[in-house]
Structure 1
């Protein structure tokens, strides 16, 4: 690998804007905001969705079967 071409990799706290869930992870992204997390100060990045608020992980995902989509289409456009 070439030297000095890769971004700096450091610890960052990601905060879910919806639920306030926080987790520490490595990232190359930088920010001016900081947060106190588990006794240390880290850069903070706000995200809109995490495993705490994503429908797949929370079990609140709506599943639509193919039959339901076909019936909805037929009902909407009046096909028999």
Structure 2
């Protein structure tokens, strides 16, 4: 393998700006903000708009009514019915 071509991964705290949920993960992103984590160490802090704590797929608050509405609009547009 070639030397010096891989990025430097380091532990970074990600914070969901919607819910305030924080998690520690590896990243190559740079930031000037830092935060003290639960283990007493200071890590860089990155703000994210959505995470597993706020995403509808993971929270179970996903809306399935849109799919039904699309089917009804298709049937209405092309004259199909449920008869």
Same topology, TM > 0.5: yes
Question: What SS does the aligned partner of 1:13 have?
Answer: strand
Cα deviation, 1:15-53, whole Å, max 9, x if unaligned, reads 001000000001111111101111110001100100000
Runs ≥4 in structure 1, deviation > 4 angstroms?
A: none
Unaligned 5+ residue runs, structure 1?
A: none
CA distance, structure 2, for counterparts of residue 11 and residue 42 of structure 1: 7
Cα deviation, 1:39-68, whole Å, max 9, x if unaligned, reads 110001100100000001111100147553
CA distance, structure 2, for counterparts of residue 11 and residue 58 of structure 1: 26
TM-score (norm 1): 0.83
Deviation (angstroms), 1:74: 5.3
Number of aligned residues: 79
Distance 1:46 1:56, change over 3 A: same
Q: Over aligned residues, Cα RMSD in angstroms?
A: 2.2
Unaligned 5+ residue runs, structure 2?
A: none
Give the corresponding residue for 2:16.
Answer: 16
TM-score (norm 2): 0.80
